[in-house]
Chain A
Amino acid sequence: MKKLMMPLVAIVLAAAMLIGFTGCNFSVKPTNPDGGKVDADNVVGAEVNLTVGTLVRSDEQDLMQTWINAFQKKHNTETDKKISIKITEKYDGMPDIITMDNRGSLPDILWTAGDQHSNYSAAGYFQDLNNDEKFPGNKEFFSDFYEALIDSTHYSAEDKGIWFVPRDYNRIVTYINKSALDAIGVDMPSADWTWDDLVELCKQVSRYVKAPIEWHTWPPLYTTMLTNFGGAYFDNNGKNTLNSAATRECYNYINFLFNGDEDVTPKVKPYAIKGEGGLFKGYKEETMGASSPITFDVRPALPDYARTANNGRWELAVLPFPNFQQGEDKTPGFTGAGCSGYGISKACTDSKELEWAWKFLQFCMSEEGYEVVGGLGNVCPALKSLANKGSWRDYKVGNVQVDPDAFIATNTNDIFLNYYNSVKPGIHSDIQDEVAVFWSKADNSSFSAAIEHYDKIIADILKK
């Protein structure tokens, strides 16, 4: 018996290993062929030394380091070294700002997400760039930024402060796998398309794939949909207004997108499946049915999609978010436009450092600054004057180049995404959490149950 056991165990283990290998794909392709770290040009013995905190992601660091290198080169000579800027903090998200503060290592300049700064701005972590004395020339500087982005720099509806410089104009756009549409025999929609066109496209494509749209469970996308349906989270007085007929309609529509309609014959297949981009990027001609040829995302995702398309040898296209036309007169609908940016932190108190920090931010978000980083591909400038010019429009990976006009389209109206601005700043993150939970139920819970829970919790949060 014992003699039999060992070969048996060996056979079972070998079989298990073989089954394991069936799931492996050993042809590992580089996901970031032309990415890579931008080396820092260190300046020693400069008159002014500034520190910067940025997100830990390599693309974020590359972007900031490119700006730093260019700015230092512009202002320093071999003999006269005026400025040195170093990235001293790399963080995962806004809460890390508290940790940096605890450590006493808060940098002079901090990255911030446009929809997450309010708690920190209101608590004094950022300096008000709307202060004319401290930051001369600010009115003129900010006059060229998109309105939706400037709206997001305030921490509340009443606040007039500008707590950070918006970096990018992140309108939601539609990424499309054109090769997949060609393979199915479906025409590529035109840039002036509507939501009805998208639905029509989904109907045609859904026969060939699991779900045509890979849907990011992402509040800006839900907020865009809600606004197009005529709903809103709060009124101007900070009253919770989500429980409305418009929200119900939007919620049920999203439920339909995820689940299709079994009540009609033939059954309408789902148009959307939840995902984070993997289904869109995972396209292969031979297994096309398992991928989704459409996804909604923003400009910073472009380099990743473009590299994937280039490696996979498929054609990537970008269209504006479809116009969800309003009413019978078919007036334009809405598209969410967010941003991230950089603020000057409370740690920057020395007048000389303040002057240079302001000068640096003005450089980064200027025509000159955007020209320097245009080749990285992940930034659509926050300046209106650069909508139709600049190196950001020429971004190309191999043979992959998309239409830059999709990112600055005017087919719909911009909505700024800080929908919670009419309530006090300290509770914004709580509200964001609850909004995310509410929409996450849209595919499997009834509207009544979801809204009842939301209303109860929001009522308590508003009392905080």
Chain B
Amino acid sequence: MTAKTKAGIKKNVVGYLYIMPVLLGILIFTVLPVLYALISSFFKTPLKPFSLTEWGEFVGFENYIQNFTTFAYRYYFLRSLKVTFIYAAINIPLTMVLGFALALLLNKKMRGMKFFRTLYYLPVLIPAVCGGMVWNRMTNVHQGILNGMLSRIGLPTLSWFSKAETSMASFIFVGLFQLGGNMILWLAQLKNVPASLYESARLDGAGKLRQVFAVTIPVCSPMILYNVIISVIGVMQTYAQVVTLTGGAGEAYSLLFYVMNIYRYNVTEFGYACALSFILFLIIAALTAVVMKTSKWVYYGEEA
């Protein structure tokens, strides 16, 4: 080590000490578990307690390969992927469009608007587990308040999560009550749209709708990109809401999301569960790369 390097370390020692707790936290609670899972994914590990010395039987890439070659694994892998993608394909655009519409409405200058903004944002503050438990009760087919309301006003009751055909639609419906998170991002971005752009558009004869498409959306496009990426990552890891809403993966695995499929194996085939986690990591990375590669439509301002 050169004298210059030593001096550099000495000079920055206080800084290193400041970041040490965070670094240790990341190392112990993120890096090491990821490494442990990666190593485990190459072993067959039935009913395995945590151990750094006993890994089970080394099987190389078998846990990865069997996922695509053995029907019993492939079936649930593809099913979980299908469920997750269907949910992502419907939920992400829907929440973005509705979040945008809501933000446009709540961006108006009107008395009491702060109250409404708070009201719409409140459900986001409720932990997914608590929200799930509440919705579980509300959507109970026989005793739930929602079916109670429907039958009292003479409408047919719904099967909600008790039937495979209706569970996905119900899950998307329940998810809409988290719209506030999306709305708040839109609102923040809408505030940043320079008024001069609207002024110019108006002078050029643009109507309200034209202003939205020609000014608001392009200026908000970096936020849209960010939102799409974060939503993809979040949706691919959907778990807690489904468990608390259905107590499992719903009727006949109709809501078998990808992470739920991982949990099916976390006790009896821990190694395979780890392999599934890394396959998920690759899928998310690929999707994010696709979104980034196709992000030429994003407007970063004149100087960018």
Contact = CB atoms under 8 A, between A and B. Distances in A.
A279 B142 contact: yes
B75 interface: yes
Of the candidates B140, B142, B150, the one having the most CB atoms from chain A within 10 angstroms of its own CB is B142
Nearest to A22: B152
B245 to A, nearest CB: 15
Given A430-B268, A440-B252, A20 B145 contact: yes
Contact of A437 (B49, B70, B252): B252
A282 B147 CA distance: 14
Nearest to A19: B149
Given A98-B47, A278-B142, A460 B148 contact: no
A40 interface: no
A398 B199 CA distance: 77
B75 A457 contact: yes
A120 B47 contact: yes
Interface in A1-33: 2, 5-6, 19-20, 22-25
B71 A2 contact: no
Contacts of B150: 23
Q: How large is the interface on B (under 10, 10 to 19, 20 to 34, 35 or more residues)?
A: 20 to 34
Nearest to B164: A444
A457 B72 contact: yes
B47 A123 contact: yes
Nearest to B146: A23
Nearest to B49: A101
- Residue from B49, B75, B111, B266 with most neighbouring chain A CB atoms (10 Å): B49
A99 to B, nearest CB: 9
A440 B251 CA distance: 8
A21 to B, nearest CB: 9
B188 interface: no
Interface string B68-111: 00111101000000000000000000000000000000000011
B112 A6 contact: yes
Q: Which 9 A-B pairs have the closest CB atoms?
A: A23-B148, A460-B72, A23-B149, A22-B152, A101-B49, A23-B145, A102-B50, A95-B267, A123-B47
Interface of A: 2, 5-6, 19-20, 22-25, 95, 98, 101-102, 119-120, 123, 125, 274-275, 278-279, 282, 290, 426, 429-430, 433, 437, 440-441, 444, 453, 456-457, 459-461
22 contacts: A19-B149, A22-B149, A22-B152, A23-B145, A23-B147, A23-B148, A25-B148, A95-B266, A98-B47, A98-B49, A274-B162, A282-B143, A433-B264, A437-B252, A453-B75, A456-B71, A456-B72, A457-B75, A460-B71, A460-B72, A460-B73, A461-B72
